[in-house]
Amino acid sequence: MARDGVAVDSGLAAAVAAKARGERVGVAAECRRLEVSRQTFYKYLDRFRRDGVNGFFPRSRAPLSCPSLTSVRVEDAIVTARKDLDDEGGDNGAISIRWRLEDQGLDRLPSRATVHRVLVRRGLVVAAPRKRPRACQMVCVWSCG
């Protein structure tokens, strides 16, 4: 019911508030009238008692933690390795950075794709426009020649 990001129906909120105040409310009849399940009614009753009016608004669906997220320490090591490679004048792409991290003995080595995503997220990769596909170049050469 609250999946669209708005608060619950005003009729449901009024019925829940009345029940929370201790008034006699026929829960089954109210749920039929409002076309919600009793489980939903009691869920919002519990939230209203705990959070007040804010309990009627939808909650975030974002996870509380992301254990596979690259740590800040590893991201900083990636950025530092890129800067060092750039200062040395060498290739500073994701594969070279990963090799550098391996040489430094980083305990959990990120993949090449992870290194690239970190560089993009930190704004260190300049997006290059896509080149024309090779197949198209071949057709143009053949048709022009």
pLDDT tens readout for residues 11-24: 999 999 999 999 99
Could you state, in order of their start, the residue ranges of all structural domains in the chain?
10-56, 72-121
pTM of the model: 0.51
Interatomic CA distance for residues 76 and 120, integer angstroms: 13
> Which range (77-81, 89-93, 95-99) has the least confidence?
89-93
pLDDT tens readout for residues 21-74: 999 999 999 999 999 999 999 999 999 999 999 999 888 888 888 888 888 999
DSSP 109: P
pLDDT tens readout for residues 49-58: 999 999 998 8
pLDDT of residue 140: 54
Q: What is the 3-state secondary structure (H, E, C) of 60-94?
A: CCCCCCCCCCCCHHHHHHHHHHHHHHHHHCCCCCH
